[in-house]
Amino acid sequence: MTKSPDGFVSLKRLKQGSGSPRETLAEIRQIYFKTTRQTIEHDFAHAIDLLKSLEHEEDREKATVYMQGLAEMRKEWGTKKEEKGKRGKGKATSKD
């Protein structure tokens, strides 16, 4: 069996859902520790979907630290779209 690329989520898994809240929290945790600069957008979206699948507020609260961490990584690493936008904006420097 070949190893699936980082950040890959099978269609079967998406259709079936994660299962129990404990499994969902474990999956969000795993996403947090395995995310990379290249996979952060996909991983963040996947974690959001998993978070939405949690029915109870107390389960969502348990996922907060991982979600905040993913959001911080996403912010620090930025996206390609954000990087392109930042290049064109900002103060123009004048040369005297």
**Is 92 a residue whose pLDDT tops 80?**
no
Confidence of residue 47 (pLDDT cuts 50, 70, 90): very high
**Is 89 a residue whose pLDDT tops 90?**
no
Instruction: Render pLDDT for 67-76 as a digit per residue (tens, 0 to 9).
Output: 999 999 999 9
Q: Give dist(CA 34, CA 79) in Å, integer.
A: 18
Q: Give dist(CA 90, CA 86) in Å, integer.
A: 7
Q: Kindly state the average pLDDT of the residues 18-42.
A: 92
Contact indicator for 26, 53 with CB cutoff of 8 Å: no
Confidence of residue 1 (pLDDT cuts 50, 70, 90): very low
**pTM of the predicted model as reported, rounded to 2 decimal places:** 0.66
